[in-house]
Structure 1
Amino acid sequence: MGTYFELFFLFLMAIIGGAVNVTIGGGWFVIFPSLIFRGIQPVTGTATTTIILLSGFLVSSKPIKKTKEISKRHFNYMVLACTIGGVTGAFLLVAFSHKVFETIAPFLLLCSWILFTFYNQIQHYFNAEFAVKKEFRYSHKKLIPIFLLGIYGGYFGAGMGMIIFILYSFYGIKNNETLERLALLLVGANNGIAVLIFICSGLIFWPFALVMITGSILGGYLGNAFKEKINIARVKKNAIVIGATVTLYFLL
């Protein structure tokens, strides 16, 4: 594959991945295998995928108004716990051998695909099962799952935003604006600190990353602009098939 065609292919995949990420989630299933297909090692591919998707996610996200369900102080505790988890997860990715990651990653990918495929059913279950919770009540114990989720986000991170939605639905938050704000800031803080560690560790493959960051940002804007006009159900079905193919490839 020629250099220009190769870069165009990655740019196109980044546009698709960025658009998918802001509409239905699951951009990981597009970006990560594209990098692996072009010969990038899985650990480097994970680090590079993180910065690509994070760029598109943050730049194309709409500002979220302050919500009343969680106080500013408690919200800061959650961001801090998730950020510390991100530092831990990123250092685990850097410190352990590539072979360890290559052994674990297919199963993490499988779990994220299951979550992506059955997300609506899982979310519906939590909304129905815990509808009796009238309001969110903060406790320090709630920081432990957020810290553990932060480790996952720094180490691998696929589907982290969906897990945040499910976790806080379990905690009693039903307001979508609150959930979106939580996902935006927790994912941003977690992946942001992880990306800084990846950059300092030399894990980002910049020749591809710079091209794909541009594509991801463009895809994010296009995804938000046409979200109301596209057939979300059909897009998700296609993404599920692609995700299943990618997952099977890495498992086998």
Structure 2
Amino acid sequence: MNTYLELLFLFVMAVIGGAVNVTIGGGWFIIFPSLIFRGIQPVPGTATTTIVLWSGFLASSKSVQKTGEISKTHFNYMLAACTLGGILGAVLLIAFSPKVFETIAPFLLLCSWILFTFYNRIFNLFNSDNQLIRKFTYTPVKLIPLFILGIYGGYFGAGMGMLLFLLLRFYGIKNNETLERLSLVLIAVNNGIAILIFIESGLIFWPFALVMMAGSIAGGFLGNAWKERMNTVLIKRNAIVYGATVTLYFLDII
């Protein structure tokens, strides 16, 4: 492929991925395969995907003013747990052989696709009147799942936003605006610290990353601007089929 056509392809895919990520989620299924298709190895591919989606997600998100149902002190503890997890996850990605990641990644992708496909049903379970936790109460034990989720975010990260949203809902946080604010900060810091480690380790493939970051930012703004006019049900159905195809390909089934 001609270099300019290659960069144009990656830019367009990043625009789509950025728009999808801020509307229905699942941008990972678009960005990561695009990089692999253009010859990037899986470990640099996941590092580059992280910075591409992170830039679009962060640039197009609303500013965070307060943490709502959680005190600032308790939120700082949660932020620290998620951040430390991100550091460990990024270090694990770098420290282990690429073959380890290449073996695990398809199954992580499968789990992410299952979560993406059935997310609304799962969320409704956490949102039902029968949920066990009625109101958020801080306990140090709640930091453990956040730390583990932080490791996942630093190591792979596909679907982390949905997992974090579900976890916080399970903890008893009911206000969607509060959930969005908390998730925004936790993901931004978790992915941000992992990205710093990736940059220091030379894992980011900058010629593609810079072009795709620009596309992801543009896609994020476009997605937010057109969100209310989009047929998100139809888009998600198509995204589920596309995600299934990508997942089956990485599982060597097709």
TM-score (norm 1): 0.98
**1:79-98 CA deviation, whole Å, 9 max, x = no partner?**
10000000000000000011
RMSD: 0.9
* Alignment map for 1:78-97 (pairs within 5 Å): 78-97=78-97
Query: Kindly, what percent of the aligned residue pairs are identical?
Result: 73
Change (3 A) 1:132 1:143: closer
Which residue of the partner structure matches residue 47 of structure 1? 47
Question: 98-107 vs 55-64, which deviates more?
Answer: 55-64
**1:63-112 CA deviation, whole Å, 9 max, x = no partner?**
23314310000000001000000000000000001100000000000000
Can you give the 5+ residue segments of structure 2 that lack an aligned partner in the other structure?
A: none
Maintained 8 Å contact 1:67/1:177: no
Return the alpha-carbon distance in structure 1 between the equivalents of residues 214 and 238 of structure 2.
24
Return the alpha-carbon distance in structure 2 between the equivalents of residues 124 and 157 of structure 1.
23
Maintained 8 Å contact 2:125/2:131: no
Return the alpha-carbon distance in structure 1 between the equivalents of residues 220 and 32 of structure 2.
17
Which residue of the partner structure matches residue 155 of structure 2? 155
Which residue of the partner structure matches residue 26 of structure 2? 26
Change (3 A) 1:142 1:132: closer
Query: SS of 2:127's equivalent?
Result: helix
**1:191-244 CA deviation, whole Å, 9 max, x = no partner?**
000000000000000000000000000000000000000000011011111100
Return the alpha-carbon distance in structure 2 between the equivalents of residues 162 and 89 of structure 1.
18
| Shift in Å, 1:133 | 3.3
Which residue of the partner structure matches residue 58 of structure 2? 58
Return the alpha-carbon distance in structure 2 between the equivalents of residues 48 and 119 of structure 1.
26
Structure 1 runs of 4+ aligned residues shifted over 6 Å read none
Return the alpha-carbon distance in structure 1 between the equivalents of residues 187 and 170 of structure 2.
18
Return the alpha-carbon distance in structure 1 between the equivalents of residues 146 and 67 of structure 2.
19
Which residue of the partner structure matches residue 37 of structure 1? 37
**1:12-57 CA deviation, whole Å, 9 max, x = no partner?**
0000000000001000000000000000000000000000000000
Which residue of the partner structure matches residue 174 of structure 1? 174
Return the alpha-carbon distance in structure 2 between the equivalents of residues 251 and 129 of structure 1.
38
Change (3 A) 1:181 1:130: farther
* Alignment map for 1:6-17 (pairs within 5 Å): 6-17=6-17
| Shift in Å, 1:130 | 4.8
| Shift in Å, 1:135 | 1.6
The letter of the residue matching 1:22 is: V
Return the alpha-carbon distance in structure 2 between the equivalents of residues 109 and 130 of structure 1.
31
| Shift in Å, 1:128 | 1.0
TM-score (norm 2): 0.97
| Shift in Å, 1:126 | 1.2
Return the alpha-carbon distance in structure 2 between the equivalents of residues 115 and 158 of structure 1.
10
Maintained 8 Å contact 2:10/2:212: yes
Maintained 8 Å contact 1:164/1:182: no
Return the alpha-carbon distance in structure 2 between the equivalents of residues 251 and 130 of structure 1.
37
Maintained 8 Å contact 2:67/2:182: no
Alignment coverage as a number of residue pairs? 252
The letter of the residue matching 1:223 is: G
